[in-house]
Amino acid sequence: MTRSIAVATLAGVLLLSGCAAQPAATRDLTLLDTKSPVQLMRNEAADRLDPAVFDKVRKSSDASFPCVTEDGNAGGLVRQWKSSTDLALVEGADERAAAKHIVDSLVDQGWDVEESAEQSSVDLTVLSNPGSLALIEVAAADESKSSLVRVTATGPCVMTDGPDSAEVRNLG
């Protein structure tokens, strides 16, 4: 039961933090323009995990999500690309130290910590860099049987023709 609560808490924190940090939709980019850079940034950040504590990729996801806008974003026309991966750690690994290692390596390369939230079962740090399309979220969660670090990269909000448009459907 504790494991399910930790996963649900982590998912909720990540979903809310990604939406809150995004600016208004840009008309200079398409969802297609943002997909690859966001995925690559997720992979680059995840590759910073210390191999000594890495067990396996538990799951990864790539999809567009509607942005939260002042007008409510009726029809989901304003969207962003979100790419995440859950990295399971070896038994006994300290998930907070593993996540901090990733965050520190990004900060050392010029990323800024936008916000950091600590809850009982989840630590979340949001990073930004003016040279990147993506925001990066690094979260640590203890799931009783195993620990994990989730790395999420989220692109800017862009204007689309909606969730059922050819652009969104073709991107997966």
pLDDT value, residue 117: 73
Q: What are the structural domain ranges in the chain?
A: 2-171
C-alpha 127: how far from chain center = 10
Helical residues (DSSP H) of 1-150, grouped into ranges: 2-20, 31-46, 95-108
In this model, does residue 150 exceed pLDDT 90?
Answer: yes
Strand-strand pairing, 147-154 and 135-142:
antiparallel
pLDDT value, residue 25: 61
Query: What share of the chain in percent tops pLDDT 70?
Result: 80
Tokens describing residue 47: 């590759």
Phi first, then psi: give them for residue 129, nearest 5 degrees. Answer: -150, 125
Q: 59-69: per-residue pLDDT in tens? A: 999 999 999 88
pLDDT value, residue 69: 81
Phi first, then psi: give them for residue 114, nearest 5 degrees. Answer: -80, -45
pLDDT value, residue 16: 35
CA distances to 2, 34, 95, 151, 154 from 100, rounded to whole Å, are 23, 26, 8, 12, 19
In this model, does residue 50 exceed pLDDT 80?
Answer: yes
DSSP designation for 75: G
Confidence of residue 134 (pLDDT cuts 50, 70, 90): very high
Assess if CATH 1.10.1740 describes domain 2-171: no
pLDDT value, residue 119: 66
DSSP designation for 67: P
Tokens describing residue 45: 């950040």
Confidence of residue 137 (pLDDT cuts 50, 70, 90): very high
Question: With a threshold of 0.85, does the pTM exceed it?
Answer: no
pLDDT value, residue 27: 67
Q: Rounded to the nearest 5 degrees, what angle is found at the Cα of 16, between the Cα atoms of 93 and 151?
A: 35
Confidence of residue 21 (pLDDT cuts 50, 70, 90): very low
Confidence of residue 160 (pLDDT cuts 50, 70, 90): very high
Q: What is the mean pLDDT of the chain?
A: 83
Q: Report how far residue 122's alpha carbon sits from residue 143's, in angstroms, rounded to the nearest whole number.
A: 10
